[in-house]
């Protein structure tokens, strides 16, 4: 366990088992140097506890990178609640998790993520103030989608010199909360869509709403499109799937899209422009952080719009250095975190 924490640069790892509610939860805090760690709470099934641990560690690190690049006063963290295989009381489970969050005394601020919803955050809020995305505050998913759209426009403009998305063909992998919002905005912009989801009912609904073509979860990698938009779970871009892609750009909302850092080089070698996920999907975190701090809607929107500008700068640096945008974004995020750690230590 400690070797894995060292590998991911994780500062703290908190585990809780509450027999009464059935809660088995992990909170991974990657960094506190920039401020309290912030990150969503996942509530999904895992094949085993090791998979849940690895998910928490990887996602926490990504949240630190995301917060640093977006210049937010937070470190990164992630919570994972392993969904019980037996019947459970959701309210009791979320109350127990809220108590776990509260025991950290503000080091971790939780929020929505895959499998959790606004109503869950309300329950958690009954146990701790260190929570965002309550009914009063709102769902971050639309803001994540807005950031993805800024990234798509920026990437298409850089790659093809096109200001309009009309006629662009986009293959969307995953049409849940964020993916469906992205699909609707792309459809409104005149793009043609190919969609896939492991839940076929979600794909069917998106197809009806956005005049999209449906592909199977496996066929989506072979879709002939201009842009691939991964909006499901992580590690979808790997040595098996990258050779199958028939696109020139990849921009999506999923966390940890790359199975490993070498996947970024594989994409670059194929001439596919890849937008780093921890920059593209920062809109949700920007909303959570700024809304929690009491900023206005206008300020949040303005901050999200900067995602496109940051990508343009990153692409230009990649062009001149011949290093992948992913590697450059990693270097920048790590440098910002290192600087914050030095200031934190000195203080």
Catalytic positions are 78
The answer to whether the beta carbons of residues 278 and 329 sit under 8 Å apart is yes
Burial annotation 190-202 (CB, 10 A radius, 16+ → b, else e): ebbbbbbbeeeeb
| Helix (H), strand (E), coil (C) string for the chain | CHHHHHHHCCCEEEEEEECCCCEEEEEEECCCCCCCEEEEEEEECCCCHHHHHHHHHHHHHHHHHHHHHCCCCCEEEEEEEECCCCCCCHHHHHHHHHHHHHCCCCCEEEEECCCCCHHHHHHHHCCCCCECCCCCCCCCHHHHHHHHHHHHHHHHHHHHCCCCCCCCEEEEECCCHHHHHHHHHHHHCCCEEEEECCCHHHHHHHHHHHCCEECCCCHHHHCECCEEEECCCCCCECCCCHHHCECCEECCCCCCCECCCHHHHHHHHCCCEECCHHHHCHHHHHHHHHHHCCCCHHHHHHHHHHHHHHHHHHHHHHHHHCCCHHHHHHHHHHHHHHHHHHHHHHC
Name the CA dihedral angle for 243, 248, 253, 255, rounded to a multiple of 10 degrees.
Answer: 40
């Amino acid at each position: 366990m400690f070797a894995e924490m060292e590998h991911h640069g994780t500062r703290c790892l908190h585990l809780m088992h509450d027999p009464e509610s059935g809660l088995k939860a992990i909170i991974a805090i990657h960094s506190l140097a920039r401020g309290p760690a912030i990150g969503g709470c996942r509530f999904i099934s895992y094949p085993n506890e090791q998979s849940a641990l690895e998910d928490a560690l990887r996602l926490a690190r990504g949240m630190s990178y995301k917060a640093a690049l977006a210049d937010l006063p937070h470190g990164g963290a992630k919570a994972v609640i392993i969904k019980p295989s037996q019947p459970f009381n959701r309210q009791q489970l979320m109350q127990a998790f809220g108590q776990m969050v509260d025991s950290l005394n503000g080091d971790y601020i939780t929020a929505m993520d895959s499998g959790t919803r606004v109503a869950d955050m309300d329950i958690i809020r009954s146990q701790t103030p260190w929570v965002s995305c309550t009914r009063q505050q709102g769902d971050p998913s639309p803001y994540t989608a807005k950031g993805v759209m800024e990234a798509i426009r920026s990437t298409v403009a850089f790659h093809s010199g096109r200001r309009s998305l009309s006629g662009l063909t986009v293959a969307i992998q995953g049409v849940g909360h964020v993916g469906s919002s992205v699909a609707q905005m792309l459809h409104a912009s005149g793009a043609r869509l190919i969609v896939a989801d492991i839940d076929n009912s979600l794909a069917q609904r998106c197809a009806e709403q956005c005049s999209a073509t449906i592909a199977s979860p496996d066929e989506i990698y072979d879709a002939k499109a201009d842009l691939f938009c991964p909006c499901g779970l992580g590690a979808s871009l790997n040595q098996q799937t990258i050779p199958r892609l028939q696109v020139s750009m990849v921009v999506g909302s999923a966390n940890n899209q790359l199975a490993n850092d070498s996947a970024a080089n594989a994409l670059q070698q194929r001439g596919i422009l890849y937008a780093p996920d921890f920059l593209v999907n920062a809109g949700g975190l920007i909303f959570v952080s700024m809304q929690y701090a009491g900023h206005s809607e206008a300020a949040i929107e303005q901050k999200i719009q900067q995602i496109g500008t940051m990508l343009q700068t990153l692409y230009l640096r990649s062009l001149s250095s011949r290093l992948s945008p992913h590697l450059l974004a990693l270097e920048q995020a790590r440098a910002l975190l290192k600087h914050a750690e030095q200031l934190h230590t000195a203080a």
